[in-house]
Structures are given as C-alpha cells and as structure tokens.
Amino acid sequence: MIHGPATDTLAVAYSMVHGLTRPIHTVLSVLVGATLGAGFMYARDLVSDRRAPAPVAPVVARSEHALLDEVAEHVRREYVDPVNSGQLEQAAVEGMVASLDPHSEFLDGAAYDEMRVSTAGTYSGVGIEVAEEDGGRIAVVAPIEGSPADRAGVRAGDELLEVDGRPVVPGRLDETITRMRGLVGSHVIIVLGRKGAPEPLRFDLERSEVHVRTVRAERLPGGYGYVRVSHFSDSTPGDFDGAILEMQAAAGAAPLRGLVLDLRDNPGGVLESAVSVADSFLESGMIVRADGRTRDARFEMDATPGDLLNGAPVVVLVDGGSASGAEIVAGALRDHGRATLMGERTYGKGSVQTVMPLRDGEALKLTTSRYYTPSGRTIQAHGLEPDVRIVAKEGAARPDFRRAAGSDPEVRSALQYLRDRSLDTHVALATTR
C-alpha cells in the first residue's frame, strides 16, 4: 500500500496565484496563498501566507509563565542528557502551537523554506514523484513529464536505492527528497532497482527547473471531457483553463458537452488557485467566505464573468481525500447549481491557516479563519455529502490516476450521468416543440 506521494519539491502550496486567465477580486490585500494537504507532505491545511510585522517581544510579567520557567529549570539541571535553552524554547513553542488544533504549526527554517519552494508549482530538481510503501520500499510513482528523470528513462515502479552514494533510509523520505533537489545545472547520481533488470541502474541527472503538473486532461467518448486536479498550486489555474481549451480545440473548437472534474484525493492547495478553478465555471456570485477575529481573516472571494463550458453540465468526483480547497470548489459549484457531486463524503476541513514569518527565517502557521460555502454551510468536521453516492467496494484498489480515465469505474459512472442528463434535456426540448 502506498502512503501519500511526494515529489522532490515536497509540494505544499502557499503563495499568490500568478498568470490567471481572469482576475480574482478579493478584499484580501495581503493574502499571498493558501494550501492544504496530505500526500505532498500535506496535512489538509488551507493556508494563507502573509507579511507579518517585525516580531516584538511582549512585555509579560514573570509570574505569567512561572510554571514554564520552573519546568525548564528542572529539565536543564536534571534531565539525563544535556539540553540547551534553545532546544527547550523551540520545543515549548512547538507544543504550544500544536495544542491549539491539528492544523496550526511552528515551522523551522527548513520547513518554511520547503513550503515556499513548493507552492510555486516549479522547483529545481530531477522530477521524480516518489512514495514510501509498506515495508519501507521507496518507489517511483512517476517521473514528471519532460523532467531530467523522464528524459533519462526513469520509470514508474522503479525502486529508489541510493542518492549520491548514500542509501535511502526507510522512514526518512523527506531527507531523501531534499538531497535530490539543488541548483539548476548541478548533478545528482541516483541508483534504482528495476524489476527484470539483473543489476541496479545508475543515473547521472542534471538538475533543472521542473514544472509540477497538477492537472491532467483527457477527452471522453461522445464529446465529453475529463480533468483531474491533484492539488492546487500557483500554476494550476493556467494549466486548468489551458487543458479545457485544448480539449475543445482538438474537436475543431466544438464546445464540450459536459465535463467530469476529478477532485478525489485532492488535499487542497493554494486558496486563490482553488477559487480560480471554481470561477472557470461561474459567471457571478460568491465562491467562498471566511470569518475570523482580525480584519485580514474576514474576506469574501467572488466569481468574475466567463464560463469556459458555456453552461455545459459538470460532475465533480469527490471522496474522503477531497479536502479544503477541493471542498471549496465542490461546495461553490453545487451551491450555484453548476455541478453535481458524485462519490463519497468529503474530508471536512473548513479552516484557514495564515503563515506568518518570524525572526531567523522561521514561521508560524496559525488557524485564523473558518470558511463557508456560498449557502453559508460550514465544512469543518462535516464535509460535503455527494448528490449521487458511489461507495467503493470493500477491498477494492484505490484508483490509479495515471491510467486512462475511461478505465475508472467512477469516471464511467459520471460520464453515464452526463449522457443521461443530456438525453433528458433533448427529450424535454422535443416535448415542448
């Protein structure tokens, strides 16, 4: 069984959307991103990255943290191993923030850098998506199309054995991924095991800029389209709109008769990107509203004119892995009567985390808002119930999103739903003439 995939970007998503095909109007002048996740190191957190004022040491009476001082002194003097004050301070901060909710987190310099690198949708590396399987095997999920690894012949299913002469250690996937990243033009040597190969394979790869594709599109029979969004990064909106326009162009500019939007196992991502995807199908109206204690935490994001499908029906596939940004898209499209949700109840992540830079290159990821769908529904802990429920058979394998969409039974069900709806429309038109 594969636990969530990760790339050598460790993508998590926290920065402002660039290059959108249409502007997104928002009262948030300081928001520069949002994300959630599990998989690409995601924790299903919808996060907003904003500039924070320079940290100011609060004036606090000693009596207010006397307990902390007392415990820290015992640890410093009596713990079996020496512990310095810096370690204790960081541990105290981490514990304090973690005690608030599952999504707030103190980020040290390395974690914060990782987050900022991953949100852009591009990074410098070799372009391998890997995951740790049961038993500790580090498997190549897929080489990213056009990346150094793809050009060199790395294949899905290969086992990653070494990076620059150092063996891959089970349970330390993050460290392995970090070693594969580096400056453009620098080299890294990886060793892979391949089924049927008599000996391990050695690849000398030159790092380059890699574009992480979050969108995969495919035409379905009968003039319908399929688009899967794995997560929302800065590059998702442009890739998403481009995929739909490309499918239409492939049919001689004929409009699609309907679309299956696959958000299964989508843990979320950049808030503005999720809003932009929803906006691709909406002419007007609210997409999401957030409420919090500060002015910056209270905002509303609205649709702008323009529907890429010109009103053609949409089915959104969701499941228990569809969270936060994916739930925003699904909730907005359903509330506006623009889409039918099919699948299983979604995860239920309805809060926003703001990323606040701290001194020394660290950051605080803090829950600052709860968000609501256009109808005022809160998703937190409830999720979204599908309009048409499809329950996976017990013991059935998870969908392989690398395979053709037409081989996926849930996609076939969604396509049949679109066909039936189209047939009903034709019958209704015929009876009114």
Q: Is the dihedral of CA 22, 25, 29, 32 positive or negative?
A: negative
State the Cα–Cα distance between residues 393 and 174, nearest whole angstrom. 33
Total count of residues recorded for the chain: 433
Q: Where are the beta strands (DSSP E) in 8-133?
A: 46-49, 105-107, 122-125, 128-132
State the Cα–Cα distance between residues 72 and 76, nearest whole angstrom. 6
8-state DSSP, 289: E
- Of the residues 324, 365, 369, 408, only one is catalytic, namely 324
Asked if 335 is an active-site residue, the reply is yes
State the Cα–Cα distance between residues 129 and 114, nearest whole angstrom. 16
Element at 428 (helix H, strand E): helix 409-432
- Of the residues 335, 387, 413, 422, only one is catalytic, namely 335
State the Cα–Cα distance between residues 2 and 4, nearest whole angstrom. 6
Give the chain's largest Cα–Cα span: 90
Phi, psi (5° rounding) for residue 112? -70, -45
Contact criterion met (CB below 8 Å) for 36 and 323: yes
- Of the residues 241, 273, 296, 349, only one is catalytic, namely 349
8-state DSSP, 133: B
For residue 386, the number of C-alpha atoms closer than 13 Å in the C-beta half-sphere is 21
Residue written as token pair 């919090």: 292
Asked if 104 is an active-site residue, the reply is no
Asked if 273 is an active-site residue, the reply is no
Which residue type does 31 have?
L
State the Cα–Cα distance between residues 158 and 237, nearest whole angstrom. 31
State the Cα–Cα distance between residues 81 and 79, nearest whole angstrom. 6
State the Cα–Cα distance between residues 412 and 45, nearest whole angstrom. 31
Contacts of 59 (CB under 8 A, 6+ apart): none
Give the number of other Cβ atoms within 10 Å of residue 283's Cβ.
13
First to last CA, the chain: 56
What amino acid positions are annotated as catalytic residues?
324, 335, 349
